[in-house]
């Protein structure tokens, strides 16, 4: 099955800093989503982005499907951005989401 690798595994920032999270995948995909898992364990949808670029406030994401990677940008980070960020993909032959291991983000005041 498809492999999804996220980097870095851990990231510690000071409030106000910018960051880039990366997601590499090993095969062609029909769907790519970014999620934020908050401290209560909820998976919050950030982006549905199988290709192209989207922006939502301080967050933006870019997927280059032909090169099999996606980037999540967080600008002017806030303590509430802390949590685990997951990338998940659906490969062309299926309908299941395959998740990466996640990036644990800690934003300190």
Partner 1 sequence: EPEVTQTPSHQVTQMGQEVILRCVPISNHLYFYWYRQILGQKVEFLVSFYNNEISEKSEIFDDQFSVERPDGSNFTLKIRSTKLEDSAMYFCASSSHGLSEAFFGQGTRLTVV
Q: Which residue has the tokens 């032909």?
A: 66
Where in 24-43 is the site for partner 1 (CB under 8 A)?
Answer: 30-31, 33, 35, 40-43
* Structure-token match 């997601």, residue found: 23
Return the residues of window 41-100 that contact partner 1 according to CB under 8 A: 41-43, 45, 48, 86, 88, 90, 94-100
Nearer to partner 1, 42 or 79 (CB): 42
CB–CB of 72/46 below 8 Å? yes
Of 74 and 100, the one with the shorter C-beta distance to partner 1 is 100
The pair of structure tokens assigned to 65 is: 């499907």
Q: Whole-number minimum distance, CB 80 to partner 1, in Å? A: 18
Q: 5: part of which helix (H) or strand (E)?
A: strand 4-7
Do 19 and 104 meet the contact criterion of CB atoms below 8 Å apart? no
Q: How far is the CB of 84 from partner 1 (least distance, A)?
A: 9
């Amino acid at each position: 099955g498809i492999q999804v690798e996220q980097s870095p595994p851990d990231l510690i920032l000071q409030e106000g800093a910018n960051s880039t999270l990366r997601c590499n995948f090993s095969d062609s995909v029909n769907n790519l989503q970014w999620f934020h898992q908050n401290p209560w364990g909820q998976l919050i949808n950030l982006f549905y982005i199988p290709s192209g670029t989207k922006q939502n406030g301080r967050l933006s994401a870019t997927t280059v499907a032909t090169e099999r990677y996606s980037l999540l940008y967080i600008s002017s980070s806030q303590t509430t951005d802390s949590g685990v960020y997951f990338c998940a993909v659906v490969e062309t032959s299926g309908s299941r989401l395959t998740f990466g291991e996640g990036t644990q983000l800690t934003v300190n005041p």
